[in-house]
Structure 1
Amino acid sequence: MFENTLDNYAHSNGLKDANTFFKVLFAISTMLVSLVSTSPVVPLLITIFVSGLIIFEAKIPWKFYLKFLTIPLTFGLISFVFMSLFFGVGTHILDLGIFNLAVTEDGFNLGLLLLARVMGGFTCMAFLALTIPMTELFCELERFRIPQIITELAMLMYRYIFLFLDEGINMYHAQETRLGYSSYKKSFKSMGMLGSNLFIRTWIKGEQAHLAMESRCYDGSIKTMKEPENLKSIGIRNLTLLIIFEVTLIVIVYFTGNLTLF
């Protein structure tokens, strides 16, 4: 399934042996540069570059990666359309002729910037999710002085997301084997039953998971088996390349700050 494949790729990708802290540092710094950019040029360059790393270096299948990008790309395109039509002022680029709707220069440029930032930021997050197992990622977050309660809540949320999905998938397959989706009428009825029972089933599973944790001496603190990696293991070469890359992006941000498509 999709959720299992995501975790499998995080443990078996082409960059799994690279320094975890280096990957976190690269992704976060690049994402921040994408967010502060005032033109879509740098976020789009980041999207292309990081996507290339994910596909060609991490060896993530491009079909799976495109499927992974579908949801943020959809929301980004919807936001782009709404901002082009309902925000901004200036010369009309396109008059739709319906309810006086028109695409303005300011709205189009603002929507394009938002779309580029969304894709640039999400590809950096995808790099983290597809190249670093979550247990290692949470362990490395301690270096950034993230409160322990936040990281532990994130770990539990991550676990219960899969618990929720597993229950939903099992219930869906059980209904499907009983021809619960053989017609539109049965499909609506089956989906209603699935939705009404899913919360109760996941609540019970959550209670069972909590009892299992307590039986293993859970004292309110989740311990991870992996220790944070040594900063020296990053290497001078990799650190230099990272600095050059980020400085290059910042320079491009500076020179393309006022660049717009219209």
Structure 2
Amino acid sequence: MHSMFENTLDNYAHSNGLRETNTLFKVIFAIATMLVSLASTSPIVPLLITLVISFLLIFQAKIPWKFYLKFLAVPFFFGFLTFIFMALFFGVGAHILDLGIFNLAVTQDGFNRGLLLFSRVLGGFTCMAFLALTIPMTELFSELERFKIPQIVMELAMLMYRYIFLFLDEGINMYHAQETRLGYSSLKKSFKSMGMLGSNLFIRTWIKGEQAHIAMESRCYDGSIKTMKEPESMRTIGARNLVLLTLFEVGLVIGLYFTGNFTLF
């Protein structure tokens, strides 16, 4: 049984507003944009990429904004925590904010480094979200084969994609089962329920994974997952799309050049 989250991702990947756009074009666009984001030495370009990709997903791909914000919440929280730690513990130079406790202070270097890392996290993740929400996974892996990625890496990625959702699905089912039995009705019961959930989740997921593997072997799985869709040719992208893609990426690179030394402090 597929998890609700996996079904939602697959549904959007198959029915979004950019579904008919050339798959190879979307892959090249997302990967090239992500590389620009990672290469940026200032937070401006990655944050601009975040806004552009978010606009495309919400207004062009028609992904519901509430779902997209939930999808973005985890990397945002992770990036924000990283920003806080970098600002407080990994900076040198002048202080821009003294907290007054435990000699903690926000330094210029730490703040700027943390903000840059935070913007890179958001920029990179939104590019990955663009791939996940506009391209079905089978088509995505089929297109990635043209980049000469080793077959074993592709197989592992596809299996990991499936098993991650097995893990989430089992965790959600166990949580709902505990909730219906009032397992979270008090703080004491909540700690006990979470402990039981954590101790049993790995075992239950392992069993589910074994069952999934047995089911695959019964359907003639031999270590290689075949996809029905053939990789698309570069010619199918079209001259207009290639020109737009080139102009956009060149514009981002120019932005890198002019904002390379930008800092807030």
Fold match by TM threshold 0.5: yes
Query: What percent identity do the matched residue pairs reach?
Result: 81
Q: What are the residue-to-residue correspondences of 1:34-49 with 2, within 5 Å? A: 34-49=37-52
Aligned CA distance change for structure 1 residues 259 and 197 (closer, same or farther; 3 Å): closer
Q: CA deviation at 1:92?
A: 1.9
TM-score scaled to structure 2, two decimals?
0.93
Single out whichever of 70-79 and 195-204 deviates more from structure 2.
Answer: 195-204
Q: Return 227-236 or 84-93, whichever deviates more.
A: 84-93
Q: Does residue 106 of structure 1 match 2:116?
A: no
**TM-aligned CA distance change 1:114 to 1:216, over 3 Å:** same
Match of 1:209 in 2: 212
Is residue 83 of structure 2 the alignment partner of residue 80 of structure 1?
A: yes
Shift of 1:99: 2.4
C-alpha deviation, 1:200, in angstroms: 2.3
Asked if residue 67 in structure 1 is aligned to residue 67 in structure 2, the reply is no
**Structure 1 segments unaligned to the other structure (5+ residues):** none
Separation in 1, partners of 2:264, 2:28: 32
Match of 1:239 in 2: 242
Pick the aligned partner of 1:130 from 133, 150, 154: 133
Deviation at 1:121, TM superposition (A): 0.8
One-letter identity of the residue aligned with 2:107: T
Q: Equivalent residue for 2:123?
A: 120
In the alignment, which of 250, 253, 258 is matched to residue 250 of structure 1?
253
How many positions carry a matched residue from both structures? 262
Residue 50 of structure 1, aligned match among 49, 53, 77: 53
Specify whether residues 100 and 188 from structure 1 end up closer, same or farther in structure 2 by C-alpha distance, changes over 3 A only. Answer: closer
Q: Secondary structure at the match of 2:97?
A: strand
Cα drift, residue 183 of structure 1: 2.7
Q: Which runs of 4+ in 1 moved over 4 A?
A: none
- State the one-letter code of the partner of 2:186: S
User: Which residue in the other structure is 1:150 paired with?
Assistant: 153
What's the CA shift string for 1:190-235, capped at 9, x where partnerless? 3333333322222222222222222211222111111112221110
1:15 maps to 18
Residue 179 of structure 1 and its aligned partner are, at CA, apart by 2.7
Q: Which amino acid aligns with 1:248?
A: G
- In 2, the alpha carbon distance for the partners of 1:186 and 1:233 equals 58
Identify which of 179, 184, 188 aligns with 2:187. Answer: 184
The 3 A distance-change label for structure 1 pair 188 and 95 is: closer
The Cα RMSD (Å) is 1.5
The 1:98–1:177 alpha-carbon spacing in structure 2 relative to 1, beyond 3 Å, is: closer
Partner of 1:139: 142
The correspondence for 2:93, drawn from 90, 94, 98, is 90
Task: Letter of the 2:203 partner, please give it.
Answer: I
Match of residue 25 from structure 1: 28
Q: Which residue of 2 aligns with 1:159?
A: 162
1:39-73 superposed Cα distances (whole Å, 9 cap, x missing partner)? 11111111111110111001011111111111111
With structure 1 as the length reference, what TM-score do the two structures score? 0.94
Letter aligned with residue 69 of structure 1: L
The aligned amino acid for 1:205 is: K
